[in-house]
Chain A
Amino acid sequence: MTGKYENKNLKPGSFPYIWERISHNTGAMVGIAVICLIIVLSIFSPYILKHNYSTINLSNAGALPSLDHPFGCDEVGRDILARVLYGARYTLSIGLLSTLFASVVGIFLGSVAGYFGGVVDMFLMRFLDIFQAFPQLLLAMTLVAIFGTGLDKCILALGISNIPGYARMTRANVLNIRSNEYIEAAVSIKCSTWRIITKHVVPNAFSPLIIAMAMGIANSGLAASALSFVGLGIQPPKPEWGAMLASARNYIRAYPHTVIFPGSFIMLTVLSFNLIGDALRDAMDPKLRD
Chain B
Amino acid sequence: MIKYILKRLLIMVPILISAAILIFSLMNFVPGDPALIALGENASYTEADVAAMQAHLGLDQPFIVRLASYLKGVFLHLDFGNSYTRGTSVRLELADRFPTTVFLACCCVLLILLVGIPVGVRAAVKANTFEDRLSMFLTLLGNCIPSFWLALMLTLLFSLTLGWLPSSGAKSLKYFILPAISGAAGGIAGIARQTRASMLEVIRSDFVTAARSKGLSERSVIYGHALSNALIPIITVSGQQLGRMMGGIAIIETIFSIPGLGSFLVSSIKLRDYPSVQGCVLYIAFTVSIIMLLTDLLYAFVDPRFKAQYVGTKKRGSTK
> A184: CB under 8 A from chain B?
no
> B288: CB under 8 A from chain A?
yes
> B281: CB under 8 A from chain A?
yes
Q: Is the CB of A135 within 8 A of B152?
A: no
Of the residues A130, A142, A218, A262, contact of B18 by C-beta under 8 Å: A130
Number of B residues near A (Cβ < 8 Å) is: 46
Hey, which chain B residues are within 8 Å of A137, CB to CB?
A: 244, 247-248, 250-251
> A144: CB under 8 A from chain B?
yes
Q: Is the CB of B144 within 8 A of A218?
A: yes
Hey, which chain A residues are within 8 Å of B272, CB to CB?
A: 145
Q: Is the CB of A230 within 8 A of B149?
A: no
Hey, which chain A residues are within 8 Å of B22, CB to CB?
A: 130-131
> B92: CB under 8 A from chain A?
no
List CB contacts (< 8 Å) of A227-257 with chain B: 229-232, 242, 245, 248-249, 252-253, 256
List CB contacts (< 8 Å) of A262-290 with chain B: 262-263, 266-267, 270-271, 274-275, 278
List CB contacts (< 8 Å) of B259-318 with chain A: 265-266, 269-270, 272, 274, 277, 281, 284-285, 288-289
Q: Is the interface of B mostly helix, strand, loop or mixed?
A: helix
A270 to B285, CA, bound (A): 27
Could you tell me the distance in whole angstroms from the C-beta of A141 to the nearest C-beta in chain B? Answer: 6
> B38: CB under 8 A from chain A?
no
Contact-residue size bin, chain A (C-beta under 8 Å from the other chain): 35 or more
Hey, which chain B residues are within 8 Å of A270, CB to CB?
A: 144, 146
Q: Is the CB of A259 within 8 A of B149?
A: yes
> A48: CB under 8 A from chain B?
no
Interface string of B4-37 (1 = CB under 8 A from A): 0000000000011011001100110111000000
> A43: CB under 8 A from chain B?
no
Interface string of A215-226 (1 = CB under 8 A from B): 000100010011
> A206: CB under 8 A from chain B?
no
Q: Is the CB of A142 within 8 A of B15?
A: no
Hey, which chain B residues are within 8 Å of A226, CB to CB?
A: 146-148, 248, 251
Of the residues A130, A143, A274, contact of B140 by C-beta under 8 Å: A274
Of the residues A134, A231, A263, contact of B281 by C-beta under 8 Å: A134
Q: Is the CB of B243 within 8 A of A232?
A: no
A232 to B271, CA, bound (A): 12
Could you tell me the distance in whole angstroms from the C-beta of B292 to the nearest C-beta in chain A? Answer: 9
Hey, which chain A residues are within 8 Å of B143, CB to CB?
A: 274
Q: Is the CB of A141 within 8 A of B266?
A: yes
Could you tell me the distance in whole angstroms from the C-beta of A252 to the nearest C-beta in chain B? Answer: 6
Could you tell me the distance in whole angstroms from the C-beta of B136 to the nearest C-beta in chain A? Answer: 10
Hey, which chain A residues are within 8 Å of B288, CB to CB?
A: 133-135
Q: Is the CB of B144 within 8 A of A146?
A: no
For A218, the closest partner residue in chain B by CB is B144
Q: Is the CB of B265 within 8 A of A133?
A: no
Interface string of B247-260 (1 = CB under 8 A from A): 11011001100000
Q: Is the CB of A267 within 8 A of B146?
A: yes
Given contacts A130-B18, A133-B288, A142-B281, contact A267 B145 (CB under 8 A): yes
Could you tell me the distance in whole angstroms from the C-beta of B130 to the nearest C-beta in chain A? Answer: 15
Q: Is the CB of B153 within 8 A of A138?
A: no
Of the residues A133, A218, A259, contact of B19 by C-beta under 8 Å: A133
> A52: CB under 8 A from chain B?
no
Hey, which chain A residues are within 8 Å of B246, CB to CB?
A: 135, 138
A137 to B284, CA, bound (A): 12
Of the residues A242, A253, A262, A267, contact of B141 by C-beta under 8 Å: A267
Hey, which chain A residues are within 8 Å of B30, CB to CB?
A: 145-146
> B160: CB under 8 A from chain A?
yes
Q: Is the CB of A130 within 8 A of B19?
A: yes
> A136: CB under 8 A from chain B?
yes
A148 to B30, CA, bound (A): 9
Q: Is the CB of B153 within 8 A of A135?
A: no
What are 12 A-to-B residue pairs whose CB atoms are below 8 Å?
A: A134-B285, A137-B250, A142-B26, A145-B272, A145-B274, A218-B144, A229-B146, A231-B266, A232-B269, A266-B149, A270-B144, A278-B140
User: Taking beta carbons and an 8 Å cutoff, which residues of A are in contact with B?
Assistant: 126, 129-131, 133-138, 141-146, 148, 218, 222, 225-226, 229-232, 242, 245, 248-249, 252-253, 256, 259-260, 262-263, 266-267, 270-271, 274-275, 278
Q: Which 9 interchain pairs have the tightest Cβ spacing? A: A137-B247, A263-B149, A135-B247, A270-B144, A271-B144, A145-B269, A133-B285, A135-B246, A130-B18
